[in-house]
């Protein structure tokens, strides 16, 4: 199928840049000022919390062009350059700020939704990106936008294509919503498993301080760390991730031989940042920031490390005295209560939880893969539509 190719400006009655509105020209009410942040990929974003306005007097003085319902707004800034949306029906008067181009489609020759879908297709963005080549500031001029080419079949064919795209995209959105609901439910399973295990039981309760003392590594000062080196040093910001600081082998050997240091299998806890995040120490050479990363030096004849790891996920310290706490102090950890069944029962609980987690993870991975496939569908739908195969 061969469609006529036309410039964007050939199908628009109006193709204008937005207005340069200085902060002194803005007011608390009046005519709404739309900015590039209101342009989503194919959709208008209200952003009620950051509405800006100008007065009628400023509108007249600057000779602004008013935005009408049905106008297409095109962003000339990232991300990505060229994204577009249709202005929804509104009784509010509106204008656009600079870097937000108005395209008022001549609906006698071009369907507005067909025009918008043209501006969502791969071929359109390929042309936009080619015009940005070599540019250090990712921004496209109105003149370049005007000259971008789009296909223009007969108006009846445009409407048919736009309606079919809309139908397919609605089905995709419905499938996406359903997959996201299923994913949220699957992601909540682990918390449900924890509640089932740790709530409503009649096991003995003891304080964490009763099963072992709270320990931390000896303090490492800034001048003892380096951006590269022998032993990774985990601070609260890199705990559970990749270290960005290191200490020497000499300091590591000296401090681990003289001062408290976790054993392989001990459960490290974050006392700041994401409170109570737990990481099982794998025994590899590493060092941990004092006071911000701690552990219970527990007797495994009373409490298994693996049991503690799962118990910490219930965040037993967040409700202490009914207060919201900014960090975990040693007393917060020591005074937290833990339900403590027999060692045999702890083994059974850990095994059961890990099996349940494995099933939940398998489900989550499958749903995430399904969601990624669904998210890729709109691009495929548009590509097919503009190859004349809809």
In tens, the pLDDT along 50-94 reads 678 888 888 888 888 889 989 999 998 877 889 999 998 887 888
pLDDT confidence of residue 52: 84
CA distance 220 to 289: 7
In tens, the pLDDT along 292-315 reads 999 999 989 989 999 999 999 988
141 vs 169, residue with greater confidence: 169
The domain 4-152 is classified under which CATH number: 3.40.630.30, 3.90.220.20, 3.30.750.200, 1.10.3720.10? 3.90.220.20
CA distance 338 to 207: 6
pTM greater than 0.85 (yes/no): no
pLDDT confidence of residue 389: 46
Q: SS3 for 120?
A: coil
pLDDT score of 41 more than 50: yes
DSSP string, 159-177: HHHHHHHHHHHHHHHHHHH
| Mean pLDDT (whole number) for 191-206 | 86
The answer to whether 82 and 8 have CB atoms below 8 angstroms apart is no
DSSP character at residue 355: H
| Mean pLDDT (whole number) for 130-152 | 82
Q: What percent of the chain has pLDDT over 70?
A: 95
Lowest mean pLDDT among 137-141, 143-147, 208-212: 137-141
Of the pLDDT bands very low, low, confident and very high (cuts 50, 70, 90), residue 390 is very low
pLDDT confidence of residue 141: 84
Of the pLDDT bands very low, low, confident and very high (cuts 50, 70, 90), residue 198 is confident
Is 211-336 in the same CATH topology as 4-152? yes
pLDDT confidence of residue 322: 43
| Mean pLDDT (whole number) for 8-21 | 88
> Count of H helices and E strands in the chain?
10, 19
| Mean pLDDT (whole number) for 259-266 | 96
pLDDT confidence of residue 1: 55
14 vs 46, residue with greater confidence: 14
In tens, the pLDDT along 266-276 reads 999 999 888 88
Highest mean pLDDT among 11-25, 53-67, 354-368: 354-368
Nearest to 66 by CA among 115, 19, 29, 23: 19
Query: SS3 string of 228-280?
Result: CCCEEEECCCCCCCCCCCEECHHHHHHHHHHCCCCCCCCEEEECCCCCCCEEE
359 vs 21, residue with greater confidence: 359
Of the pLDDT bands very low, low, confident and very high (cuts 50, 70, 90), residue 318 is low
Work out the mean pLDDT of the chain and round it to a whole number: 89
In tens, the pLDDT along 127-140 reads 998 888 555 667 88
Looking at domain 211-336, its CATH superfamily turns out to be DNA methylase specificity domains (3.90.220.20)
51 vs 152, residue with greater confidence: 152
| Mean pLDDT (whole number) for 284-297 | 95
Nearest to 212 by CA among 302, 288, 278: 302
pLDDT confidence of residue 321: 45
Domain boundaries defined on the chain? 4-152, 154-203+341-390, 211-336
| Mean pLDDT (whole number) for 219-248 | 94
pLDDT score of 171 more than 60: yes
| Mean pLDDT (whole number) for 205-214 | 92
């Amino acid at each position: 199928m061969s469609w006529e190719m036309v410039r964007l400006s050939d199908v628009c009655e109006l193709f204008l840049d937005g207005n340069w509105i200085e902060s002194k020209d803005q007011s608390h009410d009046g005519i709404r000022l739309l900015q590039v942040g209101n342009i989503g990929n194919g959709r208008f974003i209200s952003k009620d919390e950051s509405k800006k306005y100008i007065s009628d007097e400023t509108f007249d003085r600057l000779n602004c062009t008013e935005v009408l319902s049905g106008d297409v707004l095109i962003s000339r800034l990232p991300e990505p350059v060229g994204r577009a949306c249709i202005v929804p029906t509104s009784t509010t008067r509106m204008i656009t700020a600079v870097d937000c181009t108005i395209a008022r489609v001549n609906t006698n020759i071009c369907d507005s939704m067909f025009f918008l879908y043209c501006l969502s297709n791969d071929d359109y963005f390929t042309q936009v990106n080619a015009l940005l080549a070599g540019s250090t500031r990712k921004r496209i001029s109105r003149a370049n936008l005007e000259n971008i080419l789009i296909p223009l079949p007969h108006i009846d064919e445009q409407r048919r294509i736009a309606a079919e795209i809309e139908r397919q995209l609605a089905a995709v959105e419905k499938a996406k919503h359903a997959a996201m609901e299923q994913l949220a439910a699957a992601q909540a399973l682990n918390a449900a498993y924890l509640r089932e295990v740790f709530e409503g039981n009649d096991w003995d309760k003891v304080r964490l301080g009763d099963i072992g003392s709270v320990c931390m590594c000896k303090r490492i000062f800034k001048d003892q760390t380096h951006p590269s080196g022998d032993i990774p040093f985990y601070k609260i910001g890199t705990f559970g991730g990749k270290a960005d600081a290191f200490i020497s082998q000499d300091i590591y050997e000296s401090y681990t031989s003289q001062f408290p240091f976790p054993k392989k299998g001990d459960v490290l806890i974050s006392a700041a940042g994401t409170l109570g995040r737990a990481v099982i120490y794998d025994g590899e050479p590493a060092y941990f920031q004092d006071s911000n990363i701690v552990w219970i030096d527990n007797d495994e004849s009373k409490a298994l490390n693996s049991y503690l790891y799962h118990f910490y996920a219930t965040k037993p310290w967040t409700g202490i005295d009914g207060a919201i706490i900014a960090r975990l102090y040693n007393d917060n950890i020591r005074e937290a209560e833990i339900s403590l069944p027999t060692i045999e029962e702890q083994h059974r609980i850990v095994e059961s939880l890990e099996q349940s987690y494995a099933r939940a993870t398998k489900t989550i991975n499958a749903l995430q893969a399904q969601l990624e496939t669904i998210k890729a569908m709109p691009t495929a739908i548009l590509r097919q539509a503009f190859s004349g195969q809809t």
